[in-house]
Structure 1
């Protein structure tokens, strides 16, 4: 999955440091990211040295994000859209298709923090400006002492098994049109196992049993922590589709599953594991 960058390691501990020439810098504008596209096909994140030469006249705030091995990554906060030769803004979904697992994971995590910083400029309690803490990843209100931590929304993804069949779905009205699995967010006062049972009933009208944990995944594209589960069908296999959420839900025999693990998403990892008879 995208977070599996071993032997490299992402260190997310906050550090109040300034960028150096070889630091990597993420620029985001809405849901686009600035990347370098070389003639040899290599895609990279611009360095601070490159940015400094191409954006001398812009007012940019650099925020430390994290470190991958010895490389520091920063977020560039600016209202301007940077224009530099050899660099293009692309939809953040391009990160999922980049060969470098480090850039994919770093970009998704950086986008998570970009959305958090952008959405929390002012205190939700008193309306005063929030300021970054110098020791931890916190936004602090100096007027009322309110502390704002990064938003992380827990959500479940469930592979529903009916012997040698897997229930696969497609979303209704979303940008992502490939096959997926039943998924949804955990509600207040709910365990993740209860979320699995509720989402399955709401989206496809089925009951499940033997709910068991598979793996988890940080999914910075949507500020989520995804929790993967496997569950067995309990009773009737007749699907009652929630057409507001899904456009399709269908049982697939193991040998007929049309997609495989892409090495990026938890959804594809679950589907691939079932296809390979590992779950």
Structure 2
């Protein structure tokens, strides 16, 4: 179990789990069959050029820290460690709890780096002494870690799922519809709007599914399922390359299992197949 905390009761030089990032990669310790987050007696000894560092909290009695460092020669890294893209770390760690902490760490580092100066008056911000926040030293604006909410919409009819291709996807990959929440919208309104804007159909029986932090850079993915109601697919070519109905028995290449969109597709397909037994 992970307990989030802002301030540590221990020194940064005491042993702890360090979630160390170099751009979009995280430092992992290599073991024979799996990787793990390195537990280190501080990181000052490694002569890293540290851009930011934060305390995260406690995971199973181990204090957790995160740091962003500049490009570092491999000869300076702790023995038996290497950097790996964060997206791949889910499979390497084989531990959902640790990966969730890594996601938290990456989002906090991104927030810290992007809020060095006040967005209101331009003066330098300072860390709050009471909470995870920044305070402008001049106008006293308070800046909390920011998230960009994104809806995911799995639309189904009978034995089919509506899947689409964005120009930004890897070749041949299809996924469920997605879109950012606009100011003044409820999440439900966003789903209805995005579905209509992207594929021109109407939906019904809208239901919340689950959510997932997604640190690329600071999104919160919010999944919904909905049943097809009426209309023919009219692909919005400014946002999508293609969209079509796929049988749950013959799906195209999909996103990796780490993503909420893939988890929703797998869960829906499995449920429908089981219902038909």
TM-score range, shorter chain: 0.7 to 0.9
User: Which runs of structure 2 are paired with 1:54-203 in the superposition (5 Å)?
Assistant: 54-55=46-47, 58=49, 61-79=52-70, 81=72, 83=74, 84=77, 85-98=79-92, 99-174=94-169, 178-203=173-198
Cα distance change of structure 1 residues 60 and 198 upon mapping to structure 2, 3 Å threshold: closer
Cα deviation, 1:72-109, whole Å, max 9, x if unaligned, reads: 22122444536314332222211232212233212111
Seen in structure 2, the aligned counterparts of structure 1 residues 121 and 49 have a Cα distance that, compared at 3 Å, is same
Give the structure 2 partner of residue 5 of structure 1. Answer: none
Q: Distance in 1 between matches of 2:124 and 2:72?
A: 24
Say whether the 8 Å CA contact 2:49–2:70 is kept in structure 1.
no
Structure 1: segments with no counterpart, 5+ residues: 1-8
- Aligned length in residues: 268
Q: Deviations over 1:47-93 (max 9, x none)?
A: 332734422x7456531123223222212244453631433222221
Mapped partners of 1:120, 1:29: distance in 2:
19
Instruction: Using structure 2 for the length normalisation, give the TM-score.
Output: 0.85
Q: Distance in 1 between matches of 2:50 and 2:212?
A: 35
- Distance in 2 (alpha carbons) for counterparts of 1:31 and 1:178: 22
| Bigger relative contact order, structure 1 or 2 (CA pairs below 8 A, ≥6 apart) | 1
Structure 1-normalised TM-score? Answer: 0.85
Task: Give 3-state SS (helix, strand or coil) of 2:41's partner.
Answer: helix
Q: Tell whether the 8 Å contact from 1:260 to 1:272 is kept in structure 2 after alignment.
A: no
**Partner-residue secondary structure (3-state), 1:118:** helix
- Contact map agreement 1:166 1:252 (CA 8 A) in 2: yes
User: Can you list the C-alpha shifts for 1:100-155, whole angstroms capped at 9, x where unaligned?
Assistant: 22332121111111111111111112222111112210111122111100011111
Within 2, Cα distance between the matches of 1:69 and 1:79? 29
Per-residue deviation, 1:255: 2.2
Report the alpha carbon displacement of residue 177 of structure 1 after superposing the two structures with TM: 6.1
Tell me, yes or no, if the aligned pair for 1:170 and 1:179 is still in contact at 8 Å.
yes
CA 1:61–1:156 in 2, change beyond 3 Å: closer, same or farther? closer
The Cα RMSD (Å) is: 2.6
Q: Residues 257 and 275 of structure 1 are in contact (CA less than 8 Å); yes or no, is this contact kept in structure 2? A: no
Partner secondary structure for residue 234 of structure 1: strand
Structure 1 130/116 Cα, relative in aligned 2: closer, same or farther at 3 Å? same
Distance 1:210 1:253 in 2: 20
